[in-house]
Structure 1
Amino acid sequence: MHSSTLPRLVTGDLASWDAHDAFAKLRKGAPVRQVALPGGLVAWLITGAAEARVALAHPQLVHDLRRLTDPTHGFAGRRYPDDIFAVEGRHLLNSDGADHRRLRALLAPLFTRAAARHQEPMVEQTCADLLDHLVNEELADLVDDYARPLATRVTAGLLGIGDDHLPELSTLTLAMINTRDPDHVHIARRRTDLFRLWARILHGKRRDGGDDVLTNLVEAQRRDELSADELVSVSWGLYSGGISPATTLITAGALEILRAPRLRDALLNKRTAGNVTEELLRLTSPFPVATWRFAVDDLAIGDTVLPAGAVVLVSLAGANRDPRSFPDPDTADPGRERSAGHFAFGLRPHYCPGAHLARTQATIALQALFTRLPRLRLAVPEADLRWHGVLVERCYDKVPVHTGAV
């Protein structure tokens, strides 16, 4: 079916596009349906919770484009907005089977629950440092002054990236993630600059080492447990995958709490703080969709048959607000029954390896924010807030706030 005859995922101005509303409307039409994506790509979009649960674990939906033998299938050799994690390098997000298990096994010991607890003092100190500045300001921006620098510093600290590389690394990474024209010559130059920078960072790790994730990966490459290309790709994927969703979760989570002050009391209560974080993960869905999947054969999801070669997107945000699985789905309820579980981190075998750290970081960050700034409030009408990104990084551009501290 031609893209011009299909419903478009994004309608109107991208900056004001309501992703949750769009997924809900598409789900009401059908929980599995074809849509036209930005750039003209036709994909099968899954927005129902039951259907997502099947699709996320289906062995015939793969991440590796190389497994599609027909050149007209998948992306058919083209580039599209938000395709970066499918086409760049070799890492967890575009591998399957034995390759995926091998790469995941290298990372699993580095991202355990215990490892996340070990990072708590660093997260707490980073929050304190940022808030020490904000308490002296009447106006601030939740994205640029808190959520993004926090996510960047925590991710860099975990990986072992020095402060001297962070400004350039962040600029280049965000440019790659947010580009709407991956074929543009300017983006090609940014890509070259980015991977040259990663080569310098990893060279430093080979020379000096450290007690960090990148050093562990360098040592794994020395043991021939991953290739040189995989080393760069996995490192870049961990960094970019650490800063973008954490920024979204902390920013959007803070807004949910500002909308419903009762959440603040539950957040600051040790017995219920974890429940608040889970509800914020469900409501905000930092990854709007799971990473690209491709059908290697005809397969049925619910009542729909997806043809071989189909591009498939599982909307984690849509599934997380499916009323069939989550009653009153647009409301944050810390007491919600969790037997079904939300989809914010996907499902195994591609469950997000950084889930423990993401939970820890968000809980500490939001508790610190509302403890130090109890009178925090928006400085602009919520309708004036603008977004960027669609599938990879859907985040607010700016969230101006009155700190209430001065």
Structure 2
Amino acid sequence: MPHVPQMSRPADVSDIDLSDLAFWERPLKERHKAFARLRRYDPLFFAEADMGPVPIGPGYHALVRHADVVEASRTPLVFTSEPSAISIPDMPREFSEFFGSMINLDDPRHARMRRIVSRGFTPRMLAKLDADIQRVAARIIDDLLDTGPCDFVPAVSARLPLTIICEMMGIPEEQHRRVFDNSSIVLAGSDPDYLGNDPETAVHRLLAAGGELAALLTELAAERRRAPRQDLTSALVSADIDGDALTDQEIGSFFILLAVAGNETTRNAISHALALLTRFPDQRDTWWSDFEAHAATAVEEIVRYASPITWMRRTLSRDHEMNGTHYRAGDKVLLMYASANRDSAVFTDPDRFDVTRSPNPHVGFGGPGPHFCLGAHLARREITVMLREMHRRVPTIRATSEPQRLLSNFVNGIKSLPCDF
């Protein structure tokens, strides 16, 4: 039975409730000020929100300091990913594994699956994608120049990662929209534009979207067993490492993970990039003055500053002390990447967007350890190529209004961002 700490928050942070959806409706600047206040104290405990049909859990500790997030990430035998890394409530195991794939697994099951699927993300495989990424990015800017001022998200930032992932898997172009629509629902958080206002409707839409993605890959996997091609689906269905192969359920579940994590994270990073370069024209001038010289540090700074994934959950496997705080077996903790990436103990002037920042030990792709993002290198390549193409062909592009943000405590998403050039 998880331990439920009896804690009262200090008076100057008593107005902060990370389980209240109203907190996540506040402007980003206000949220980061709140995180800065929370970092002054040891990890604080928060009650879980009432989510309708889901039983209310015992609550969680919010790890808001960089040191705590990194240490917990490096200690996976204690801070485990099972039963779930992507939901605060304890969902049914089948639900967690269906929607989270290996993110919600610990070793040895996590290591087995990562070993099989990682063959699609080796440096050699990613190098082969360079020409594809460049081709798709160039086509997107061609269309942008033909279209003129528009909503940057569907016209630019959403298209590149969606197209690359679908091409990697061998999904026909006529199915790309199906992947986009359903992956958007899976990572919709609490946004009524995607899930409606009724909890039962939201659950139904979420399950239906996941089922659509899994069904698509189940059909494709069956085709590739009959007639393999040079794509990741063929590699997954034929994978045999020491007699180990993926089941159809595992392939479908992995595709849900790939579609949402590999698509949404990069999409939002590119969207945030335009918003940030508009908001901080001095940083745009610095980067644009010598794109290649600043590209590597600029991309890392975009990921740090935006933190597209706000948190991941871990569960204590045993009693443990970390950085002076005692935890008990069964306690839940949230690794607050968005807060850790603004920790002044690690980052000088952390609220400044600085495209030349170095070093930059952000945790925007997760902390160090076995769950560091498998697609981090691919995401960096996609962001770099898309921004390079923008710099080369539409250097004056800018956002013309504030982003319309996704209502979510999990994804720092942008739904809409009008642009002009």
TM-score normalised to structure 1 length = 0.86
Give the drift of 1:266: 2.2
SS across alignment from 2:382 = helix
Name which of structure 1's ranges 179-188 and 365-374 shifts more when overlaid on structure 2. Answer: 179-188
Q: 2:260 maps to what in 1?
A: 240
C-alpha separation between the residues in 2 aligned to 1:154 and 1:2?
Answer: 48
CA shift for structure 1 position 21: 1.6
- 2:342 equivalent in structure 1: 321
Query: How far apart are 1:77 and its partner, in Å?
Result: 5.1
The answer to whether 1:387 aligns with 2:405 is: yes
Q: Deviations over 1:297-336 (max 9, x none)?
A: 2222322222221222101111111000001011122333
Deviation at 1:370, TM superposition (A): 2.7
- Report what 1:70 is aligned to: none
Q: Where does residue 211 of structure 1 map in the other structure?
A: 230
d(CA) in 1 for partners of 2:270 and 2:314? 27
> Per the alignment, in what secondary structure is the counterpart of residue 305 of structure 1?
strand
Contact kept, 8 Å, 1:46 with 1:52, in 2: the verdict is yes
Match of 1:169 in 2: 179
| Alignment-derived partner of residue 324 in structure 2 | 303
2:194 match: none
Q: Please tell me the root mean square deviation across aligned C-alpha atoms, in Å.
A: 2.9
Q: 1:2: Cα distance to partner?
A: 8.4
AA aligned to 2:406 is: H
Letter in 1 for 2:339: G
Change beyond 3 A, Cα 1:16–1:209: farther
SS in structure 1 opposite 2:291?
coil
**Does 2:70 match 1:60?**
no
Match of 1:368 among 382, 385, 389: 389
- The one-letter amino acid of 1:212's match is D
Deviation at 1:136, TM superposition (A): 2.8
| Counterparts in 2 of 1:77 and 1:192: CA distance versus 1, 3 Å | closer
Query: 1:293–1:312: 8 Å Cα contact kept in structure 2?
Result: yes
SS at match of 2:371: coil
- Shift of the alpha carbon at 1:125? 1.3
Give, as a single letter, the amino acid of the residue that structure 2 aligns with 1:105: R
Compared with structure 1, are the counterparts of its residues 189 and 280 closer, same or farther at alpha carbon in structure 2 (3 Å cutoff)? closer
One-letter amino acid of the counterpart of residue 372, structure 1: R
Quote the offset at 1:215 in angstroms.
Answer: 1.2
Q: Cα–Cα, structure 1 residues 263 and 208, in superposed 2: closer, same or farther, change >3 Å? A: farther
Post-superposition CA distance 1:342-374 (Å, at most 9, x none): 111112211111111111110111121232212
| C-alpha contact (below 8 Å) 1:23/1:315 kept by paired residues | no
The alignment of Structure 1 onto Structure 2 pairs a total of residues equal to: 388
Structure 2 counterpart SS, 1:397: strand
Residue 357 (structure 1) aligned with residue 368 (structure 2): no
Tell me the equivalent position of 1:69: none
Alignment partner, residue 297 of structure 2: 275
Match of 1:65, SS?
A: coil
Does residue 332 in structure 1 map to residue 353 in structure 2? yes
Cα deviation for residue 129 of structure 1 reads 1.0
Secondary structure of 1:272's counterpart equals helix
**Pair 1:87–1:217, CA change in 2 (3 A):** closer
Match of 1:8 in 2: 17
Change (3 A) 1:379 1:89: closer
Q: 3-state DSSP class of the match of 2:60? A: strand
Counterpart of 1:343 in structure 2 is 363
**Which consecutive unaligned segments of at least 5 residues does structure 2 have?**
191-198
1:256 pairs with 2:276: yes
Residue 178 of structure 1: aligned partner: 188
- The range that moved more, 50-59 or 172-181, is 172-181
Counterpart AA for 1:215: S
Distance (Å, rounded) in 1 between the aligned partners of 2:62 and 2:328: 13
Code of the residue aligned with 2:134 in structure 1: it is E
Please identify, of 53-62 and 174-183, the stretch whose mean Cα deviation from structure 2 is larger: 174-183
The alignment partner of 2:220 has SS state of helix
Could you tell me which amino acid in structure 2 is paired with residue 112 of structure 1? T
Deviations 1:32-78 (A, max 9, x none): 22224553652211110111111111121111229xxxxxxx84557
Q: Percent identity?
A: 21
Distance 1:15 1:387 in 2: 9
Q: How far apart in 2 are the matches of 1:22 and 1:225?
A: 47
**Corresponding residue of 1:71:** none
Question: Cα distance 1:76–1:345, how it changes in 2: closer, same or farther (>3 A)?
Answer: closer
Is the partner of 1:275 in helix, strand or coil?
A: helix
Distance 1:370 1:349, change over 3 A: same
- TM-score by length of structure 2 reads 0.83
Unaligned runs of 5+ in 1: 67-73
Distance 1:200 1:262 in 2: 50
